[in-house]
Chain A
Amino acid sequence: MTAPPEVARGSRLGGAGLVVLLALVLGGVLGAADALFAPRIEEQRRARLRRVALDVVPGGGALEEVTVGGAVVLRITAGPQPGEGALVGWAVPGEAPGFADVVRILVGLDPEARTITGLAVLDARETPGLGDRIREAEFCDRFAEHPIAGPIEIDAISGATVSSEAVQSAVEADVARVAAAIRRLEPGSASGEAPR
């Protein structure tokens, strides 16, 4: 590329200098903003998980994160402080591929990890009006009182078979595996495992 002689080379470098300067300044701003926002984002995520967990395990008052069988589960007690009071149940996450994207759920279990107490969809991008109905209580409630071991027999939502089956297989695979791990724990260690 031949630049006309009257044009100083410096003008090109000058233009590049502005880009570099902007990148440095804006990079600094973004770093500062991330330091400000990241703790709040994490806090919001935990707050939502708590809300959902206390919803799927009725009667819970406090919860703590424990690792069972390689998965992080929420151990829910009557409270008022985490780890205090009688064991009320467990909230176990699970996921399976749905129609559009991965469906993430949280399943509440009774203290013995034998029966489902409740189920909620944490994250799903299923078709609005069809697959998205797996979020509705009318569907989630079909899992309540169901034993966790063995196949889960639930009527799928008509028009949303794939999404319904995603929830079902997340329960049968991820949640059932963690439930089995919880049952294998000695009663003492189940209540005494160190919070993460």
Chain B
Amino acid sequence: MTDEARPIDAADEVAGDAALAAADPNEDGEPGAVDRLYRGLLPENPVHRQLLGMCPTLAVTATVASALTLGLATVAVLVASSLAVSLLRRWIADHVRILVYTVVIASLVTLVDRGIAATLPDLHRALGPYVPLIIVNCVIIGRAEACARRSTPVVALADALGQGGGFLLGLASLAIVRELLATRSVLGWRVLPDAFEPWVIMALPPGAFFTLGLLIAAGNAWRDRGEPESATGTREGAPVSGKIEV
């Protein structure tokens, strides 16, 4: 934003900066495109590290096909909205920025929703309301606020691909586990033998919570591997790589 505009929404701006500082520990050295891309995929994975977009994460990961469809739709919207916000960033006044994000994101989601309905009707039916609900996915508005509105289009694109790819990976990781255990198949391909009794609960909402919890625990264990455990039982010096630790 232009410096002249700052005094208007000083309070707003401070709140925004505070949120940003919390969200982006590395703000001093503005991360470059490659760094943004990598961060979103693993260290700041929206599903496993930031715990954002939990509603679709839990709801559409019963099968890999629906998870991939929703993940790709989210990537498409995120890339387009980040690019749009980045290109418009010099003209977006601070006090209307949320409105601008909402108009842009809602329009893009409607386009993607109609597009999927016209081309993949069966998957569209299976996804139910979750494609239109991409509008309220906080990953998308979060990236507009945390990155795109203050970055060049190249960095914004890399950030959107990283975070979107991370979201897609996160959804796929849950869906592979759930579909495999609930139906013995992945993407309809039979993997486990008849002797394996399907765990129906993995296709139900509790299965989504179990899988998410276990995968996050596994991710934390991997992150903290080799870290000495302190006397209090907490791990000292564990890197706080997640953007928003919950």
Contact = CB atoms under 8 A, between A and B. Distances in A.
A99 B92 CA distance: 47
A12 B203 contact: no
B68 interface: no
Given A19-B100, A23-B103, A123-B125, A3 B111 contact: no
A11 B104 contact: no
B93 A12 contact: yes
Contacts of B111: 29-30, 33
Contacts of B137: none
A127 interface: yes
B242 to A, nearest CB: 31
A194 interface: no
A119 to B, nearest CB: 19
A19 B203 CA distance: 42
Interface stretch (B2-10, B151-159, B186-194): B2-10
Contact of B121 (A19, A44, A127): A44
Nearest to B6: A7
A37 B93 contact: no
A34 to B, nearest CB: 6
Contacts of A34: 114
Contacts of A86: none
Given A33-B111, A34-B114, A125-B128, A18 B204 contact: no
Interface residues of B, number: 32
B8 A4 contact: yes
B91 interface: yes
Interface residues on A, range: 20 to 34
Contact of B96 (A16, A45, A125): A16
A187 interface: no
Contacts of A127: 204
A37 B115 contact: yes
Nearest to A13: B93
A185 interface: no
Contacts of A30: 107, 110-111
Given A3-B8, A7-B7, A19-B100, A12 B95 contact: yes
A30 B105 CA distance: 12
A104 B125 CA distance: 13
A7 B4 contact: yes
Nearest to A7: B8
Interface string A30-49: 10011011101100110010
Contact of B92 (A4, A12, A18, A36): A18
B204 A128 contact: yes
A29 to B, nearest CB: 7
B200 interface: yes
A141 B95 CA distance: 61
Interface in B118-140: 118-119, 121, 125, 128
Contact of B91 (A18, A23, A40, A41): A18
Contact of A15 (B96, B104, B110): B96
Contact of B114 (A12, A33, A45, A130): A33
A93 to B, nearest CB: 16
A173 interface: no
Contacts of A123: 125
For A34, A37, A48, A125, the residue with the greatest tally of chain B CB atoms inside 10 Å of its CB is A37
B96 A19 contact: yes
A26 interface: yes
Interface of A: 3-4, 6-7, 11-12, 14-16, 18-19, 22-23, 26-27, 29-30, 33-34, 36-38, 40-41, 44-45, 48, 123, 125, 127-130
Closest 5 CB pairs of A and B: A15-B93, A26-B107, A129-B200, A40-B118, A128-B203
25 contacts: A3-B8, A6-B7, A7-B5, A14-B93, A15-B94, A15-B95, A16-B96, A18-B88, A18-B100, A19-B99, A19-B100, A22-B104, A29-B111, A30-B110, A30-B111, A33-B110, A36-B118, A41-B117, A41-B121, A44-B121, A45-B121, A128-B182, A129-B200, A129-B203, A130-B200
